[in-house]
Structure 1
Amino acid sequence: MKAMDAPQNTMLVEFLSKPAQFLREMVTRDPAFIGASVLRESLSTWVTTGRKGIIPLVTNAKTFAGIATEMDPTYKKLVNAGIGSGYDFKGDIDANAQMFEKEIQEKAGRVSKIQKTVMPLTKAWQMLDKYSTAADLAPRETVYKKVLEETGNEAEAVYQALEVINFSRKGRGAFVRTLSSLIPFFNARLQGLDLLYRAGFGQMASEYAVNQQKAFWIRSSFILASTAAYVSLVKDTEEYENASDEERDNYWILPGAGNLKIPIPFEIGVLFKVLPERIYDSYFGEGTPQDLRDAIKRNLAGTLMFNPIPQAILPLAEVGMNYSIFLSRDIVG
């Protein structure tokens, strides 16, 4: 609540935040991102919430389908509770005012000629936004149902659904809030790491926190053990050998399945899949200590978003340095 009266961004920050906002909105409405999110959040939710009855990949996909087709009305309870703002929650007065004004105009039927002309594109954009929001809501609805079933407490169920990962939390620190505006998904990564810490060390605001912590480490250990088995099985396959470092980091590669790859969850995946895989490869495969260091740098700058350069100047900075921060390599050379 304290963050609601936090100072708004200056005109300069607003201007510099536009590229980040554009990239964020384009990425979150990409069908490939939406599909990957359904799979990623399924595993993340399974690990961090510790709730029973959640089947990784399967439960979240079914819930997503129910929300996207509006066959399951449960998600509307979460929306009415203020949950479901999506990955690019802005949470500032101007953004909320613009959204409110837009909805008033649409309900009043006041549509300009230009708006009528671009209506097909607008509808397509809104459809992608709907699916993106459904991907965000799917794990929340799953947790909501499980908590409500276990406790019968509606308020607790809504709260735990929000805490699957709370994008609306931004804090009052002006510096961090500014970085969140300038760097795409910076706040999402902070909230993901915070969730990882609270779930792993029993700091969740819930009576279930101790059980949640136990489930977190049991399920994380399962992913860790599975990683060793996975690498030993695929390391000599053509698909794995031909995959780039980025593909190995970001996916589980399935030999014999063509180009089919399963995206890994973000923070959970880095800790319990990427790093163990690189360590295993360094000791038992063809990997080197340098490969491990490159993977750490790549995931710190990419997946975990520890890259303080604003999106507005990042492309120019990389060209000037002739170095891709995400790929950890020269652009030309």
Structure 2
Amino acid sequence: MVHVLLDGKPVYSHIGDLILLRALTSVHLQSWNNMVMKTARFFKRLLTAGVTSTPDFMLRNIVRDTVHAWGVDRTGTFKPLVGSFKGTIKTMRKDADTVRMMAAGAAFHGGYSYGHDPGAGKLVVEKLIRKHGIDEDSILDTPKKLARFMKYGWDRWQDLGSSFENATRARLYEGVKAKGGTHLEAAYEAKDIMDYSMGGDWPAVRFLCETVPFFGARMTGLQRLGRGAYENPQGFLAKGAMVALASVLLYLNNRDREEFKELEHRDRDNYYHFFIGDQHFRMPKPFEIGGYLRDSAGTADRVRN
């Protein structure tokens, strides 16, 4: 039995689903805050932020994210590439929909770095509070203020990275609202496309999510992929078949090229390769959806050899 207050009076409900009860009671779950965990989280954030702040990662990430979002989208409002491009423009402009989405908690500022770390989330909130205040020390007349100015440039760079991260979510939010959905429904769909704040209920998994870079992101991606296939099997299979067909055709086109044969398996597994004349172009494969195709392409390649 659980209860909530409605107009100051308790309203009781009986929950027969144990998993649902655990999910509800885990909403306010407190993370471990001892010195060991704080140290582990710090080094995890340090490595993750270093990786995700590079320009090449940002560009690869939005390409992978757009195919992943299209594959698991159950609203039918997101279009790959075009949706991400429009979403990037929206988040850079900080339009009304983007602000509402962020206020609802559906956006992620450094989702890879902060998604499973409440302490780091607190730092982000404090930074935003300071950001919107009036700073009398904005004149660069001391080394300390100069260092603060350089940090300001870093923060702007991070904002650019967040624009790429939130591009698909902003477009999904707008699409659900355009179809008549409420703000809450649109925010939920935008957040649920890849919820980095999820950390699981089992203590061992929560520990790994908080301390191992990208572990939580991959677990979340696999869980979301499975739900996407379960909730909309026809749409998921149709979109997956389109990606698979395009991947197979590209492989058949490339398999006899000497340039393709000389590539390392790691390179083949993580990128689509296009050869136009003497030019070689790579496009990052999507996250979990691309993982299945990597295994299939690798097996076909080994059998052929």
Q: Summarize deviations over 1:108-142 as a string: whole Å, max 9, x none.
A: 52759554122343133212211221122111112
Opposite residue 80 of structure 1, the aligned amino acid is A
* Match status 1:98 vs 2:119: no
Once residues 172 and 161 of structure 1 are traced to their aligned partners in structure 2, the CA distance between those partners, rounded to angstroms, is 23
Q: How well do the aligned residues superpose, as a CA RMSD in angstroms?
A: 2.4
The aligned counterpart of 1:251 is 271
Once residues 127 and 185 of structure 2 are traced to their aligned partners in structure 1, the CA distance between those partners, rounded to angstroms, is 32
Once residues 253 and 188 of structure 2 are traced to their aligned partners in structure 1, the CA distance between those partners, rounded to angstroms, is 41
- Match for residue 171 of structure 2 among 120, 131, 142: 142
The aligned counterpart of 1:184 is 213
The aligned counterpart of 1:19 is 43
Larger radius of gyration: 2
Query: CA contact under 8 A between 1:67 and 1:134: conserved in structure 2?
Result: yes
Identity of aligned residues (%): 23
- Match for residue 270 of structure 1 among 262, 284, 291: 291
* Match status 1:56 vs 2:80: yes
Once residues 147 and 105 of structure 1 are traced to their aligned partners in structure 2, the CA distance between those partners, rounded to angstroms, is 33
- Which structure: greater strand fraction? 2
Q: Which of 53-62 and 151-160 deviates more?
A: 53-62
Query: CA contact under 8 A between 1:237 and 1:255: conserved in structure 2?
Result: no
Q: Summarize deviations over 1:122-173 as a string: whole Å, max 9, x none.
A: 1332122112211221111121122222233221111111101111111343
Is the partner of 2:28 in helix, strand or coil?
A: helix
Is the partner of 2:114 in helix, strand or coil?
A: coil
* Match status 1:213 vs 2:233: yes
| Residue-pair matches, total | 274
Query: CA contact under 8 A between 1:38 and 1:61: conserved in structure 2?
Result: no
Once residues 174 and 114 of structure 1 are traced to their aligned partners in structure 2, the CA distance between those partners, rounded to angstroms, is 45
Q: Summarize deviations over 1:179-216 as a string: whole Å, max 9, x none.
A: 112210111111101101111122xxxxxxxxx33211
Gaps of 5+ in 2: 1-23
Once residues 123 and 75 of structure 2 are traced to their aligned partners in structure 1, the CA distance between those partners, rounded to angstroms, is 38
The aligned counterpart of 1:65 is 89
Q: Summarize deviations over 1:236-290 as a string: whole Å, max 9, x none.
A: 224322322111111100112734211011111011x21121122123x32xxxx
- Match for residue 127 of structure 1 among 153, 156, 162: 156
Opposite residue 188 of structure 2, the aligned amino acid is Y
Is the partner of 2:283 in helix, strand or coil?
A: strand
Query: CA contact under 8 A between 2:41 and 2:210: conserved in structure 1?
Result: yes
Query: CA contact under 8 A between 2:63 and 2:81: conserved in structure 1?
Result: yes
Distance change >3 Å, CA 160–CA 105, structure 1 → 2: closer
Distance change >3 Å, CA 93–CA 111, structure 1 → 2: farther
Once residues 190 and 42 of structure 1 are traced to their aligned partners in structure 2, the CA distance between those partners, rounded to angstroms, is 18
The aligned counterpart of 2:228 is 199
Once residues 242 and 36 of structure 1 are traced to their aligned partners in structure 2, the CA distance between those partners, rounded to angstroms, is 23
Gaps of 5+ in 1: 203-211, 287-333
Distance change >3 Å, CA 146–CA 108, structure 1 → 2: closer
Q: Summarize deviations over 1:67-95 as a string: whole Å, max 9, x none.
A: 22x17442111111112223222455533
Once residues 159 and 167 of structure 1 are traced to their aligned partners in structure 2, the CA distance between those partners, rounded to angstroms, is 13
